[in-house]
């Protein structure tokens, strides 16, 4: 009888260990996809809240999820800083009147919204290199 109790206890311990291992594996978060490749030159077509349209240019350098580079607009130019998380991009200009571009990357195009001192608008960019 004592051997049966010992074997039962060992079997119960083994089942608990396997269950705990299975639960630990099941709770791991899914692996993140790598960030989209956005390095290069982009032509940006923007429409402000008042309907005014303009063309701007971004030259983006990418180091993993971190973005840097240069912005050129009709009235100002300067550096940029930003991030890319899978397909989601955020770029902030280092200019007198700051633009913040947010969007979703799909291959060689990006669509999203931007914010500047006058409000919110829409933008679309096409890779030009």
Q: For 106-123, how does the pLDDT look when each residue is reduced to its tens digit (9 = 90+)? A: 999 999 999 999 899 999
- Determine, yes or no, domain membership for 2: no
| Band of residue 18 on the pLDDT scale cut at 50, 70, 90 | low
Residue 28: what pLDDT? 67
| Cα 116 to Cα 73: distance, rounded to the nearest angstrom | 13
**3-state secondary structure at position 90:** strand
User: What is the structure's pLDDT at 1?
Assistant: 54
In the structure encoding, which two tokens stand for residue 18, read together? 């396997």
Average pLDDT of 20-49?
81
Euclidean distance between CA atoms 116 and 97, whole angstroms: 7
Span 56-66, average pLDDT: 98
Q: Is residue 109 situated within a structural domain?
A: yes
57 in any annotated domain: yes
- Considering the entire predicted model, what is its pTM? 0.76
The answer to whether residue 114 is domain-embedded is yes
Its domain, for residue 56, covers 40-127
Confirm whether 106 is domain-assigned: yes
Give the N- to C-terminal CA distance of the chain in Å, as an integer. Answer: 79
Structural domain total, the chain: 1
Domain with residue 61: its CATH number is: 2.40.128.120
Average pLDDT over residues 19-35: 67
Please indicate, yes or no, if residue 73 is contained in any of the structural domains.
yes
Three-state SS string over 40-66 comes to: EEEEEEEECCCCCEEEEEEEEEEECCE
């Amino acid at each position: 009888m004592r051997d049966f109790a010992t074997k039962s206890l060992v079997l119960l311990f083994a089942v608990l260990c396997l269950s705990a291992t299975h639960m630990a594996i099941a709770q791991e978060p899914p692996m993140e996809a790598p960030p989209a490749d956005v390095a290069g030159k982009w032509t940006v077509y923007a429409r402000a809240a008042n309907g005014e349209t303009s063309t701007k240019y971004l030259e983006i350098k990418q180091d993993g999820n971190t973005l840097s580079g240069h912005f050129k607009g009709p009235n100002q130019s300067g550096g940029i800083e930003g991030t890319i998380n899978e397909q989601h991009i955020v770029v902030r200009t280092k200019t007198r009147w700051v633009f913040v571009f947010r969007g979703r990357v799909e291959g060689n195009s990006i669509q999203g919204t931007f914010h500047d001192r006058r409000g919110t608008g829409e933008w679309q960019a096409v890779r030009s290199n």
